[in-house]
Structure 1
Amino acid sequence: MSKTHAYSYQRFSTPEQSKGDSLRRQYSLAVDYAARNGLNLQDVSYQDLGVSAYRGANAETGHLAEFIDAVKLGVIPRGSFLLIESLDRLSRAKPRQAVRLLERICEMDITVVTLNDGKRYTIQDIDEDPISFMVAFMVAVRAHEESLTKGRRVRAAWSNKRAKAREMKLTKRCPSWLRLNEDRKSFEIIDDKAQIVRRIYEMTAQGMGQNQVVKVLNRENVTTLNDAAHWHKSTVAKLLRSDAPIGTYVPHLIEHVNGKRIRRPQEPVENYYPAIVSQKLWQEVRLATAKGAAIRGRAAGSGDLQNVLSGLCKCDLCDGPMVYIKKSDKDRYLICQRAKNSAGCQYRAVRYQPVEDVIVAHLNPFAQLERFASDDRLGSELAKVEAEITGIADMLDNLRETKSSTLRTTLAELDIALVDAETRRDQIQRKIEEQEPALMMARIDLLGDALTEQPLDRPKVNRLLRQLLEKVILRQNTGELEFHWKNGGRTEVMFRWPEEE
């Protein structure tokens, strides 16, 4: 008789906790429990590293959501066990929401085990044992109160910092044309970057549009402010919206409304930064941009996403992103972003509709034929990294007792190398988990359903494509789309006849 499957779920809410013992402790408890209770602990573990359970983010977008989806799709068999250190790892949301999440998981015939006390929760326990329900509810109350208290303390600390902002700077973070001095009381201007910002303001005040400004900067190979390969319209728009060039800092308060994270601007702090643009020039730019089209970032604009390949489509010449341009309902194109911004590459506009049509008509049958076996390359990479980790750990063990200052420096370097190797191992393991064959095939079925819906839900199709694909190369001369699947496979589909040479 085969053993019942068990799955480990680990979570910590801040990056600082990753430096401690939290993850190892949680996983060790799961291994020990599975061994003592005859469970088959699966290699696939669900880890939400640095995801807080306070707002339920882990259940909505994290690996806990993937676990729930895998149970719904039949990838994880019903009757399995979910092993967690304690109920507050599952959720720190409002008590009724936390208990509802526990019920939701148990109703899928999953047994939840809290490893700190060995208690089991099933839907029968919750329905028939009032004590089990009360224990779960009281743990949820305590966890939620702890999170509320912590949140109040953090907000109070930041309010105090904002009140003293002119005396002591709040944080090292600052605009890219500044750097914080060692005394933490003032900022230093980085002259070459500040000059670029001034020039952008001057060109805009003279009547140049944002696209023109971008083209000028890229033609002249002006260095970007953030180490990007070339300038983008969104970068220029953000600079022109900012109050920082005139020295004003606008703090924001993070609020959660209906499950969404919203940044609320607070009272501006004038003269927080050294000004690099005059008030007169700044006001001229505001007037100039107010007379024309409103400055918009990438997320602003005409509503729903209209390009099913958003974030996936790549130019075959430079491997840069292809952007969606809509001139009218009939005239919609995909264009290389570098070419559009005069940052190199060849300007060629490809009609969007034939691309979408071939995806809707033909992609799902090809996807069904794709062999979603585990990627052997990832297994080889994982083995190499684990061997590297073992080697570094052995070297550290041999050097721990040394009193030599030179060797202590080597120890510090090895510690850094170990953390880096373990991070790479975790990234590879997450990729392997994402490519689990049954889960991938279930996602393909969902994609097939989405492609037949009328009207086409483009955001939904794009979301499913992102789960299955690494990228899509648009080969303009041959009229082909080259789909790169996350398992390493490739599929080529023709969307138009090749161009004549």
Structure 2
Amino acid sequence: MRLNDLAVVVSNVKPVVITYTRFSTSIQKEGLSEYRQDELTQRYVIDFCETHGVPLNDIISLKDRGVSAYRGKNMTQGSLSELINLFKGGELPKVYNEKGEINTFFFIESLDRLTRSDLHTANKLFLDLVEYCNIVVVAENEQKIYSLNSLKSDMGMLDLFSALLTLSRSHNESRMKEMRHRENWSKKRQEVIDYFDLTEDQRGGLNYPLNPTKTCPWWLKPKPDNRGFEFIEENRKAMKFFLERMLDGYGLTSSIRRLNDAITKGEFKVEFSKKQDTKKGFQTHTFYQVLTDDSNESLIGNLIFHKDYYPTEKDVQQGLYDRKKLGKKVRIPVYTAKGFYPALLTEIEFLMLRKMMGERKQSNTKPNKRVANIAQGILKCPKCGYSYVVNDDKRSGRHANLVCSYSRSGKCDAYTYRVEFFEHNLLSYCRNINIGRVLGYQVDDSAVMEELTRLRHDQYQINLLKSQVQVEIEQLVNNISNITIPSLLEKVQHDYSKKELRIQMYEDQMKAIESDILAINMRHKNSIDTNDSIYELIDVVSEKRDVEKREKLNIELKKIIKSMNLINKKDADNPFGRNLLKVDFFDGYSRFIPVDRKLENEELFDILPVIETETVKDSIDYTTTIILPIDYLEGLESKKYPPVEKMAQFYQENPAKYLKIKRQIEQSDQIFV
């Protein structure tokens, strides 16, 4: 049907009018694409509405801005996909005129606004849409109306062929653009690879390669000559501030909140995007991929190039991919340009940050507000595993209690405990023992050197293995050009892939060892700082309710305490008849702190530690059973051991020595009382 026949196809029944505008990129948004489509479409729509008495306010106007039709994105998201779903779901029913013809008109500038997908996909969309409405194309060289009636007529084959020809041409145009873009991208990428394959000396006198793309992390910008990137100074300071918070132990959400607060106070002059401005600052997604995605190493200045790959059944059988990846696009890293960007972190800092993110993900800790409970994320209910929360009863004569969060809905019958006793005794306990000694930080230099020597020996061995595999890869590469038998060539290529994976494995092992070496050096160097930082925070928190310091203390406690739970005095397996806090430090031992009243000094240490796998029944009360080593008198004189009243505290700091003495007593035939 011709477009000038439109005025006579409709009877007195008012038609439904829909207009659709689409463009693919933000560049087109800034240009005339939307204006051109709207102007051309509305020229016909307004005349049509006036002729058939359709109020302009009744027009359904759909727009898909920045939505590509080449890969069918507008068929799965955006206005067009919603329209089709409404049609198919019956929420937007078919409308007929008095002749029984479809009375819904869908105005578009050209069929390529509808789709630029492959012919099979485009044909399906076209036929689905024409089932519910008449497609009105208004472009000068394309003017036509496609309706269900016209397609069923004697000349319907020509109409369908005309539509398919237009859709096919649109797809081929987009495909050619993509191929030219890929070719241009590949050329730029190869220039970067060729440059970074050279040594520093070989690069002398050569131009730095052109940037393959202007897209970069938000703290960077392309240099004026488009060769390399440089920091946006205020953004660099802001990102550095954020990373320092993360390395200090703050969670992702907490670090982002602090960054947004600092920006609000004017400490950094970061320019937000419109979306960030609306959301009032940075959101989690801005940082999450940078911190967790293995294919992103921009924080240490690396750019990773990828290639698209579609896993096959053979890949699944060999265990290279999960079956759910079968036939789906995956990105495979093919080259890492080290030092392409200016770096914000060292490789070791980057590894530690990734490790911390992994540990937080496993522990499912997602703080979303300021910490009032210093044990948040550590103290768990022994009955249901849920966290304890502080229930602060403001009524006269009442006090704040620790309550199982699950019990508040009546689904757990856990006991409640006085916050005052819990906090005072826990903080007093930590304040009066040597945390560095508890965690094994304070060891003699010979033990540290022995561990470092072992790690460096492992490092040397892995380097040898890596060098050997690299030689084998070079031999394979030299042989490939001489192989003409397809089956043999396939085998060699498979061997090459396996060796590349081994190289990657060795490199990962090397990074892990470097991380361990750094951790040992930092642990040995900062043992005194560990005590001082916790002691200082405990002193501040004990004197006043400073939310900022309480949150910091919570972070520091998570570094030394693996978990805590409360043991009630009524529990059958509690032989001491008092409320106890079981604290599992990262040294593999459990300590028990009474929390039935406020305690001072020696009273805090009376319930002696056990191995983490043991229970409170295996512990001993030092006030009723004083245990001393056989060489105690000599050790007291040489100051190896403290006075008797301080030995319980000594055992808390040196549980391995205490348990050794306990075993000796249990196995001894002679016990001196």
Name the TM-score, length of structure 1 as normaliser: 0.50
- The 5 Å alignment of 1:342-421 reads none
Q: Deviations over 1:99-156 (max 9, x none)?
A: 2112112222x11122233322122333442212211222221111111111111111
Distance 1:154 1:45 in 2: 33
Deviations 1:19-59 (A, max 9, x none): 44433443344344442694446433222223222122223
For the residue of structure 2 that corresponds to 1:188, the secondary structure is: strand
The amino acid of 1:244's aligned partner reads S
Aligned partner of residue 63 in structure 2, secondary structure: strand
Counterpart code for 1:162: R
What pairs with 1:287-366 in structure 2 (closer than 5 Å)? Answer: 287=355, 289=357, 293=361
Which 10-residue stretch deviates more, 143-152 or 177-186? Answer: 177-186
Aligned-residue RMSD, C-alpha? 4.8
**Deviations 1:427-446, CA, capped at 9 Å, x for gaps:** xxxxxxxxxxxxxxxxxxxx
Aligned-residue offset at 1:75: 6.5
Question: What is the SS of the residue equivalent to 1:267?
Answer: strand
Q: Is the 8 A contact 2:110 2:137 kept in 1?
A: yes
**2:227 alignment partner in structure 1:** 185
**1:272 Cα deviation from its structure 2 partner:** 0.7
> Post-superposition shift, 1:13?
2.2
Give CA-to-partner distance per residue, 1:254-311, whole Å, 9 cap, x none.
Answer: 899999997665522211112232233333444555566469999xxxxxxxxxxxxx
Q: 1:115 aligns with which of 100, 120, 138?
A: 138
- Whole-Å Cα distance in 1 between the matches of residues 123 and 168 of structure 2? 10
Matches of 1:21 and 1:259, distance apart in 2? 39
Distance in 1, matches of 2:221 and 2:307, equals 23
Instruction: Give a deviation string over 1:227-257, Cα, whole Å, max 9, x none.
Output: 5656766555444334112210124568999
Structure 1 residues 209 and 135 mapped into 2: Cα distance closer, same or farther (>3 Å)?
Answer: same
Report the Cα distance in structure 2 between the residues aligned to 1:112 and 1:297, rounded to whole angstroms: 53
Query: What secondary structure sits across from 1:54 in the alignment?
Result: coil
SS at 2:335's partner residue? coil
Change (3 A) 1:90 1:240: closer
1:124 to 149, 157, 171: 149
CA contact (8 A) 2:309 2:332 kept: yes
After superposition, the Cα gap between the structure-2 partners of 1:16 and 1:127, relative to the gap in structure 1 and judged at 3 Å, is same
**Retained in 1: the 8 A contact 2:229–2:341?**
yes
Q: 1:6 aligns with which of 1, 17, 20?
A: 17
After superposition, the Cα gap between the structure-2 partners of 1:296 and 1:196, relative to the gap in structure 1 and judged at 3 Å, is farther
Q: Which residue of 2 aligns with 1:18?
A: 29
TM-score of the two chains, using structure 2 as the length reference: 0.39
Quick check: 164-173 or 48-57, which moved more?
A: 164-173
Q: Distance in 2 between matches of 1:33 and 1:114?
A: 10
Which residues of structure 1 form unaligned runs of 5+?
Answer: 299-313, 316-326, 334-348, 355-501
Q: 5+ residue gaps in structure 2?
A: 1-11, 97-102, 193-207, 311-324, 370-380, 389-403, 410-673
Mapped partners of 1:26, 1:219: distance in 2: 41
2:206 counterpart of 1:155:
no
Residues 164/63 of structure 1: CA separation in 2 closer, same or farther (3 Å cut)? same
Distance change (3 Å), C-alpha of 1:158 and 1:106: same
Give me the whole-angstrom Cα distance separating, in 2, the residues matched to 1:63 and 1:262. 28
Q: Distance in 1 between matches of 2:70 and 2:219?
A: 36
> Who is 2:161 aligned against?
134
Q: Does 1:248 align with 2:302?
A: yes
- Say which one has the larger Rg: 2
Match of 1:214 in 2: 255
Could you tell me whether the CA contact under 8 Å between 2:256 and 2:284 is conserved in 1? no
**Counterparts in 2 of 1:202 and 1:52: CA distance versus 1, 3 Å:** closer
Instruction: Give the SS at the match of 1:164.
Output: helix
Structure 1 position 91 matched with structure 2 position 115: yes
Q: Which of 88, 91, 113 is equivalent to 1:73?
A: 91
Which residue type is aligned with residue 118 of structure 2?
Answer: K
Cα deviation, 1:351-387, whole Å, max 9, x if unaligned, reads 9x99xxxxxxxxxxxxxxxxxxxxxxxxxxxxxxxxx
Distance 1:28 1:329, change over 3 A: farther
Instruction: For 2:112 and 2:327, locate their aligned partners in 1 and report how far apart those are by CA, in whole Å.
Output: 19
The answer for the alignment partner of 2:72 in structure 1 is 56
State how 1:156-175 maps to structure 2 within 5 Å. 156-165=183-192, 166-175=208-217
Please tell me whether residue 278 in structure 1 is matched to residue 278 in structure 2.
Answer: no
| Paired AA for residue 161 in structure 1 | K
Q: CA deviation at 1:161?
A: 1.9
- In 1, Cα distance between equivalents of 2:73 and 2:115: 9
When residues 235 and 131 of structure 1 are mapped into structure 2, their CA distance, relative to the original with a 3 A threshold, is closer
Alpha-carbon distance between aligned partners in 2 of 1:44 and 1:240, rounded to the nearest angstrom: 43
Q: Which has the higher contact order (CA 8 A, sep 6+)?
A: 1
Amino acid in the other structure paired with 2:165: M
Listed as ranges, the matches of 1:398-477 within 5 Å are none
- Asked if 2 retains the 8 angstrom alpha-carbon contact of 1:103 and 1:126, the reply is no
Distance 1:62 1:258 in 2: 27
Query: Partners in 2 of 1:31 and 1:192 — Cα distance?
Result: 47
Check 1:177–1:19 CA distance in 2 against 1; reply closer, same or farther (3 A cut). closer
**Distance of 2:17 and 2:333 partners within structure 1:** 46
Identity score, percent: 26
Q: Tell me the secondary structure at the aligned position of residue 172 of structure 2.
A: helix
Distance in 1 between residues matched to 2:363 and 2:285, nearest whole Å: 9
CA contact (8 A) 1:214 1:231 kept: no
Question: Could you say if the C-alpha distance between residues 62 and 332 of structure 1 is closer, same or farther in structure 2, counting changes exceeding 3 Å?
Answer: farther
Amino acid at match of 1:83: F
Deviation of the 1:197 alpha carbon: 4.8
Paired residues of 1:234 and 1:296 also in contact (CA < 8 A): no
Q: Residue 224 of structure 2 aligns to a residue in which SS?
A: coil
CA distance in 2, matches of 1:76, 1:275: 59
Residue type of the partner of 1:167?
P
CA displacement at 1:90 relative to structure 2: 1.2
Query: Matched residue pairs, number?
Result: 313
Is the alpha carbon distance of 1:205 and 1:179 closer, same or farther for their aligned partners in structure 2, counting shifts above 3 Å? same
**Matched residue of 1:83: which SS?**
strand
Change in CA separation of 1:259 and 1:64 when aligned onto 2, cut-off 3 Å: farther
**More moved, 288-297 vs 128-137:** 288-297
* Residue identity in the other structure for 1:101: L
- Distance in 2 between the 1:297 and 1:177 partners? 28
Letter in 1 for 2:304: V
